[in-house]
Amino acid sequence: MTSRNHTAVTYFQFLPFSSTPEIQGFLFCLVLFMYLSTLVGNILIITVTMADAALHSPMYFFLKNLSFLEIGYTTSTIPKMLVNFLAKRKGISFLGCATQMYAFSLLGITECCLLAAMAYDRYAAICHPLRYMTMMSWNMCFLLSAVSWLIGVLVALGQTTFIFTLPYCGPNRINHFFCDLPPLLKLACVDTSKNEITTFVITVLFIMVPFLLTVVSYVQILHTIFRMPSARNKRKTFSTCSSHLVVVTLFYGSAIVTYWTPKGFYSSSSNKLLSLSYTLVSPVMNPLIYSLRNKEVKQALKRLI
């Protein structure tokens, strides 16, 4: 067994996207623009859903929660990434790395659960319209939101503790732009095969189960829509859930490709770009998707402005 005295790493160094200053400068500007757009867009969604009485419904309660999550999700990784673009020493302390992984895992797992809750809300509204207010009472909304956060807090705590009690006794160069689980496991000084199996089980339980629940909800929704006699009603009904479906596809698509692709299938640089798609691209797209594809949000924005 590896001695605890070998756990000497106190600092992790991130490998940059490129060693070319011009590319680094371009990436800094691009990421900064997208991050600020994420903040502005999601704060606007939160503001309009709180200020406009017409949006005080379960659907927009969950949307408000999602926007809050997206702000935290990007803030857990992107500001440090921006600092490292400009810094000579591109890295993070051991404690800072653990904190970043905890925050990222907490918000990511909570978002998985919240997306499933949003899918259930759409299922109740479309498949059981007469019982919708009973199925989606405010007590149920608060319960689904609280359970999503509780699962995120507990799973992230267990996962972070699990990873950072491993011995790190030498290599400290993370080929990534934040403290993500797969590249950190590669730096441990022990055989991590059991840890990888445990991580796989956690992923299945707390990421794939909410995803499958979301899929089941949409199968039921599509079945109900296809049974509608009027083409106009079909389009109108589908438009109420199409925004959420696009968001789910963006979030889960990039995350599944990143975490479930066999080792060596993509290069480390490709994995970094894939990670950007769910840490930055998805959060910046969500406000656009919900505002451009949702008439109620567009009307509320006009009233607010």
Residue 77: partners with Cβ closer than 8 Å, 6 or more residues away: 100, 104, 177, 178, 279
Packed helices 21-51 and 78-86: angle between N→C axes, nearest 10 degrees: 150
User: Residue 217: is its pLDDT beyond 90?
Assistant: yes
Q: How far apart are CA 211 and CA 188, in angstroms?
A: 30
Query: What's the whole-model pTM score?
Result: 0.89
Quote the mean pLDDT of the chain. Answer: 86
User: Per-residue confidence at 4, pLDDT binned at 50, 70, 90?
Assistant: very low
What tokens appear for 29 in the block? 């500007």
pLDDT 10s digits, 116-153 = 999 999 999 999 999 999 999 999 999 999 999 999 99
Average the pLDDT over 7-29 and give the result.
84
Q: Which of 41-50, 95-104, 265-274 has the lowest mean pLDDT?
A: 265-274
Asked if pLDDT for residue 201 goes beyond 90, the answer is no
pLDDT of residue 39: 96
Q: Which domains are assigned to the chain? A: 8-304 (1.20.1070.10)
- What are 83-111's pLDDT values in tens digits? 999 888 888 999 999 999 999 999 999 99
The amino acid occupying position 302 is: K
Tell me the C-alpha distance between 234 and 269, whole Å.
43
Asked if residue 1 has pLDDT above 50, the reply is no
